[in-house]
Chains A and B, each alone.
Chain A
Amino acid sequence: MLEVRGIQKHFGDQHILKGIDLSIEKGDVTVILGPSGSGKTTLLRCLNFLENADCGEMTMDGRKIDLGRASAKDKAFVKDRTAFVFQNYNLYNNKTALENVTEGLILGRHMHKDEAIKTARVALDKVGLSDRENYYPSQLSGGQQQRVGIARAIARNPEIILFDEPTSALDPELIEEVLSVMRKVANEGTTMVVVTHEMSFAENVATKVVFMDQGVIVEEDTPQVIFTHPKEERTFSFLKNIIHDTDYVI
């Protein structure tokens, strides 16, 4: 469903992504692990054209896109089929929870307003925030804001949702409410790519775990294999550190 080959990205003379290949099937929950600065965020942003890759090739739903020369139409095609959940939520502060969800439906999907509201209410209900639809982001806790962020993503019914460390800006006691919403979304068969340091989520929900370091994919496999006998030394030492320290790192 989504396949990328040889994504490269520089920031100035820093080589951030050094040729990433990734293939994602429908219903996959792909968790990307890796130390801070390894290029995980940059990779997700390139998949969604929030950042333009230098080169590489993407195939999505049969459409081939040269990432180095993607047209506005290509970008719109991909943006229409993907949604992004941000580390710091990035809700529209001038819009209520409901409006945060309807905005993209009305403007992006050209949905009629009533229909958009109906769709948004279903999404807010799914993340357990039906009673907060008229709250502004500043009136919501971090966990609630992130759940609105997830509602905003699922309401558009995208083919893939990209999550960039969705819980790492949250106080520890708020993490679980967001993870449980994510598990629910995963259980419904949504295709997800999740950058996270939540090992329990990776172990129990992921269908595939990808370990990234210094701009390359070091190894990828099922969580069972990655967590019990990783092939690469780098993967092993990363996991050892994380699992020994706490349940998450930032």
Chain B
Amino acid sequence: MNITDVKLSYLIEYFLDFIPFLSVTLQYTLLAMAIGIVFGLLMAKGKLGKNRILKGFANGYTAVMRAIPSIVLLFLVYYGLPKIFMGAFAINLTRINKVYFVGITLGLFNIAIMSEIMKSSYLSVDRGQYEAAVSNGLTSSQAIIRIVLPQAFRISIPNVGNAIITLLKEGTLGYTIGLIDSMGRANQQNALTFQNHILEIYISLAALYWILTILLDRGFKAADSKLSYSSRAKERQTVKAGEISKEVAA
């Protein structure tokens, strides 16, 4: 087959065929984000706090997650979790929708990523503002909630955007456990057409993710500039923090 043989009509056909399967992508991404935000927040608190045990646990968790290949964790979750639940609680998980296994797997990675993002965003708000607030009559928690966290939140937006894009892409590994998202669907189509449309199928899929990423990027940029009050100095710190999430995700 030659690249010039790629047919535009097929490209469009497959592209449109894959779109509905993005709902599956959305499900595992949302689940992973929910897990990441809730537990990532606790981990970030552990990393920033004084308790040595919590700190060690949070840092250790992040280090382990950085080391494990996604597919290995996915297999551990998909094959291991039901075994554990069966043995320990006699609960049968094998009938549960595969999207949850993918969501949990991505969520476990995302806890590490989000906790790093939250930690670095929090630290990039100059401590002097907190001190000014408490010397100006605010309690410590008022200072954190009203002064530090809003700025940390805004600083974190680009990094959270990157994290979401990473999740979307990593989720395609779900095909290895038989999940039918757009990647799974592409594999189905490829099998059905005896690999005759292999280029059209995967080019369409790549285009779909490319467009999705562009749209998300735009959305996050818009949210970012809408909330922009902070000084230019802080923008520079965002870039630094951005490298961390990529590192953890890699």
Query: Residue of B at shortest CB range from A108?
Result: B137
Question: B150 — which chain A residues lie within 8 A by C-beta?
Answer: 94
Tell me the complex Cα distance, A48–B126, Å. 19
- Measured CA separation A91–B128 after assembly (Å): 8
By secondary structure, the B interface counts as: helix
The residue in chain A whose Cβ has the minimal distance to the Cβ of B230 is: A93
Q: Do A90 and B126 have beta carbons less than 8 Å apart?
A: yes
Q: How far is the CB of B23 from chain A (nearest CB, A)?
A: 36
A93-B234, A94-B151 known; A79+B134 contact, CB < 8 A? yes
B230 near A90: Cβ-Cβ < 8 Å: no
Given contacts A103-B146, A107-B142, A138-B229, contact A92 B129 (CB under 8 A): yes
Instruction: Give Cα A137–Cα B230 distance, bound, in whole angstroms.
Output: 8
**Contact of A86 (CB < 8 Å), options: B128, B137, B146, B151:** B128
- Cβ of A19 within 8 Å of any chain B Cβ, yes or no, is no
Which A residues lie at the B interface, using CB under 8 A?
48, 50, 79-80, 82-84, 86, 88, 90-95, 103-105, 107-109, 136-138, 149, 152-153, 156
Q: List 29 A-B contacts (CB under 8 A).
A: A48-B135, A50-B131, A79-B134, A83-B136, A84-B131, A84-B136, A86-B128, A86-B132, A88-B128, A90-B128, A91-B132, A92-B132, A92-B147, A93-B229, A94-B150, A94-B229, A94-B230, A103-B133, A104-B133, A104-B136, A104-B137, A107-B138, A107-B146, A137-B231, A138-B229, A152-B132, A153-B136, A156-B136, A156-B137
Tell me if B135 and A82 are in contact (CB < 8 A).
yes
Q: A93 and B129 in contact (CB under 8 A), knowing A137-B231, A138-B230?
A: yes
In the assembled complex, the CB of B140 is this many whole angstroms from the nearest CB of chain A, namely 10
> Which residue in chain B gives the minimum CB-CB distance to A92?
B147
Let me know if B132 and A138 touch, CB within 8 A.
no
Alpha-carbon separation in the docked complex, A104 to B137 (Å): 5
Q: In the complex, how many angstroms separate the beta carbon of A162 from the nearest chain B beta carbon?
A: 9
Least CB distance, A115 to chain B, in whole angstroms = 15
Task: Flag whether B50 is at the interface (Cβ < 8 A).
Answer: no
| Residues of chain A contacted by B146 (CB below 8 angstroms) | 103, 107
- Within B12-39, the residues touching A (CB, 8 Å) are none
Residue numbers of B with Cβ under 8 A of A are: 126, 128-129, 131-139, 142, 146-147, 150-151, 154, 229-232, 234
Known: A94-B147, A103-B133, A109-B137. 10 other contacts (CB 8 A): A50-B131, A80-B137, A83-B135, A84-B132, A86-B132, A103-B138, A104-B137, A136-B229, A138-B229, A153-B136
The tally of CB-CB contacts under 8 A between chains A and B is 74
Which of A80, A109, A138, A152 lies in contact with B232, CB distance below 8 A? A138
Given the known A-B contacts A136-B229, A137-B231, are A90 and B138 also in contact in the complex, defined by CB atoms under 8 Å? no
Give A158 Cβ to nearest chain B Cβ, in Å: 10
A79 to B142, Cβ gap below 8 A?
no
A79 to B142, CA, bound (A): 15
Distance in Å: Cβ of B142 to nearest Cβ of chain A: 5
CB distance from A45 to the nearest CB of B (A): 9
Cβ-closest chain B residue relative to A149: B132
- The contact of A90 among B131, B137, B142, by CB within 8 Å, is B131
Inside 8 A of A152's CB, which chain B residues have their CB? 132, 136
Q: Which residues of A contact B229 (CB under 8 A)?
A: 93-94, 136, 138
Whether A79 contacts B129 by the Cβ 8 Å rule is no
Asked if residues B135 and A84 are in contact (CB atoms below 8 Å), the reply is yes
Per the bound structure, the CA–CA distance linking A137 and B151 in Å amounts to 13
Chain A residues positioned under 8 Å from B134 (CB to CB) = 50, 79
Contact between A90 and B234 (Cβ–Cβ < 8 Å)?
Answer: no
A95 to B128, CA, bound (A): 15
Nearest-CB distance from B20 to chain A (Å)? 41
Cβ contacts under 8 Å, A93 to chain B: 129, 151, 229-231, 234
CA distance A201 to B5 in the complex (A): 83
| A104 CB contacts on chain B under 8 angstroms | 133, 136-138
Contact partners of A136 in chain B: CB under 8 A: 229
Residues of A close to B126: CB separation below 8 A: 90
Nearest opposing residue in chain B for A109, CB measure: B137
**Which chain A residue lies CB-closest to B152?**
A94
Query: 3 tightest A-B contacts by CB?
Result: A108-B137, A104-B136, A90-B128
A137 neighbours in B (Cβ, 8 Å) = 231
